[in-house]
Structure 1
């Protein structure tokens, strides 16, 4: 799961980032309007934490940009500007939640899990496809009620695809979603191929009825056999 923090206050941004990384999210940050705009134009996120008051613009304008671009990111507004008007406008522009500052990190994490679960998991705590079940809160994968042991990136790849069954995903999109925007600096994707190869073998050996199918020249998609 990949999250973008749009927050101009350095200490708060860093605290939130560290907290979410401990929860095994891929976290990217933006400290102003223009940086955030470039990121949402170039990348996709599972959730955006959005401050309204930015040094070079308004977070509400970023919400409008998301709407214009037909992006479907989950958005939680985190702002000290706790006026009813801003809250209503933010929700009308497509924000999924509004958390006034100051807040507890445990509450923020619970809100993130809630909006992701609501939009990607139909409100369910578990994700099921074929005979595979993922419990995101426990980072646990079950195949026909037997636990499947995966390393962190194998798990992240499986979670990414199982939330997008049947969708063809190219290697660049996968890399950015699972490893973050610094993936642009690597020379090749051999390490991704290795993780996918291992994941496919583990699923097959466990008797999973889902398969991460390679589509030559394009990428991969998750199918149910």
Structure 2
């Protein structure tokens, strides 16, 4: 799961992103309205964690822009503005959930994951592609009911391919999804090829087919064999 946290309180932002990173997710931070819009137009996200009180703009206005331009993105409002009118306005404008400050990080994680499941997998706890099955709760992958020994990044890569099956995914898009802001510190995208190579090898080793197709000069697709 890839999240964008819009929060100007630096310590809270650091704690939230650290927690999600430990859970294996990619979490990026925007400290204000302007930086949030820059990131939203530059990258793709699964869930937006939105504070309503921003130093340079109104969080509800940002929510409106998100719903107009990225309606598939899940939104959880996290705000100290706990008035009923704020909560109702946020939900009426398309937010999926509202969590008042202060909150427990475990609860925020649970709510963000619930929104993600509803948005991406329609509430399913498992998703399938041919003989491959992913368990979304324990992050386990199976082929012909045999568990795959995957790293967390390999699991996330496989999940990303399955939910985007038959779509062309560039190396840059894959890198951005799995590593977020940390991608800027990397010299090349060679690590993407290595992860895909390892994933292919592990799937084939337990009797699975290779559905990860290289589109030379463009990227990769996951599709059924022709």
Does TM, scored on the shorter chain, surpass 0.5? yes
> Hey, what does 1:204 align to over in structure 2?
204
Shift of 1:136: 2.5
> Hey, what does 1:159 align to over in structure 2?
159
5+ unaligned residues in a row in structure 1: which ranges?
none
2:134 & 2:166 partners in 1: Cα distance?
17
Matches within 5 A, 1:28-43: 28-43=28-43
1:173 & 1:86 partners in 2: Cα distance?
35
> Hey, what does 2:117 align to over in structure 1?
117
> Hey, what does 1:99 align to over in structure 2?
99
Shift of 1:209: 4.4
> Hey, what does 2:45 align to over in structure 1?
45
CA contact (8 A) 2:200 2:210 kept: no
Shift of 1:71: 4.7
Shift of 1:91: 1.9
> Hey, what does 1:170 align to over in structure 2?
170
1:63 & 1:23 partners in 2: Cα distance?
26
**DSSP 3-state at the match of 1:82:** coil
5+ unaligned residues in a row in structure 2: which ranges?
none
Matches within 5 A, 1:5-44: 5-44=5-44
Shift of 1:170: 1.2
**DSSP 3-state at the match of 2:213:** strand
Structure 1 residues 13-41: Cα deviation after superposition (integer angstroms, max 9, x where no partner): 11111211111111111111111111111
TM-score (normalizing by structure 2):
0.93
1:193 & 1:116 partners in 2: Cα distance?
27
**DSSP 3-state at the match of 1:27:** strand
1:93 & 1:33 partners in 2: Cα distance?
17
Structure 1 stretches of 4+ with a deviation exceeding 3 A read none
> Hey, what does 1:150 align to over in structure 2?
150
1:118 & 1:124 partners in 2: Cα distance?
8
Aligned residues: 225
Alpha-carbon RMSD across the aligned residues, in angstroms, is: 1.5
> Hey, what does 1:192 align to over in structure 2?
192
CA contact (8 A) 1:5 1:30 kept: yes
1:221 & 1:95 partners in 2: Cα distance?
32
TM-score (normalizing by structure 1):
0.94
1:118 & 1:192 partners in 2: Cα distance?
28
1:206 & 1:213 partners in 2: Cα distance?
19
CA contact (8 A) 1:165 1:223 kept: yes
